[in-house]
Amino acid sequence: MPITLAHPTTPRFGYAIPTEVPATWRKDVSKIEGLFQSLLSRHDVTEVAQLIVLAATRNLAGAKKPQSGLATAMVRGVLAQQNIKETEGGGVSAEGARPFLGNITRQAVIDRYKKGRLLAWRENRQNTVRFPVWQFNAQGVLPGLEEVLGILRASTVVDDWGAILFFLNKRDSLEGQRPLDALRDGKLDAVKRAALGFVAK
């Protein structure tokens, strides 16, 4: 069952979006979703994001600058999130993740995610979960990933996207490597130290 948030929250890492639409927002969200589908039939994701930034800038021109800046930043965040979803092979459904995990059941894949043993993000519109392909290799889950996830999940401020961003962003503490690449190189201890530093900020 998805977690229902009464109000949007902003954790320290990334944007947080309610996993269910608050009742007072439903009509407006439905209108916006219809507009998105119409735009996506004529433009790619990047162009749609640019159109939204342009519209927000024009229509919030009379508002206080922080509000206008926030709208632009949030749209850019959505675009960045889309780019991340397509990184390193993109994501697969729970069904698509089964072959990486010895063909365990779909429910077993979901259970691993719920227990913090796999990385995933929610697609709220489809009410599905997508699993980044880059967390797997030919033998299953990338060695060390579950241990690092344990450190990240122990923090109350690192959500799914925060954990994904940790693995995909270069770290000075790893000599400019991404934690994902460092794990692939077998540098588990270094990645664990980086994770501890990440949650302590």
Report the alpha-carbon distance of residue 130 to residue 123 in Å, rounded.
7
Mean pLDDT to the nearest integer, 158-187: 92
Which pLDDT does position 80 carry in this prediction? 61
Report the alpha-carbon distance of residue 182 to residue 75 in Å, rounded.
31
**pLDDT per residue over 87-133, tens digit each?**
778 899 999 999 999 999 999 999 999 999 999 988 766 678 899 99
**pLDDT per residue over 102-112, tens digit each?**
999 999 999 99
Report the alpha-carbon distance of residue 3 to residue 187 in Å, rounded.
34
**pLDDT per residue over 15-59, tens digit each?**
444 555 677 877 887 787 778 778 878 887 667 777 777 776 666
Q: Collapsing DSSP states into helix, strand and coil, what is residue 26?
A: helix
**pLDDT per residue over 180-199, tens digit each?**
999 999 999 999 999 999 99
Report the alpha-carbon distance of residue 175 to residue 28 in Å, rounded.
46
Is residue 29 within a helix (H) or strand (E), and if so which, with residue range? helix 26-40
pLDDT tier at 156, thresholds 50, 70, 90: confident
Mean pLDDT to the nearest integer, 144-171: 90
Which pLDDT does position 60 carry in this prediction? 57
Assess contact for 77 and 69: CB atoms under 8 A: no
**Average confidence score pLDDT of the chain:** 79
Report the alpha-carbon distance of residue 160 to residue 119 in Å, rounded.
7
Residue 185, number of CB atoms within 10 A of its CB:
12
pLDDT tier at 12, thresholds 50, 70, 90: very low
Distances (CA, A) of 52 to 29, 30, 74, 106: 15, 16, 10, 37
State pTM to two decimals.
0.63
Which pLDDT does position 62 carry in this prediction? 55
Residue of 53 and 153 predicted with greater confidence? 153
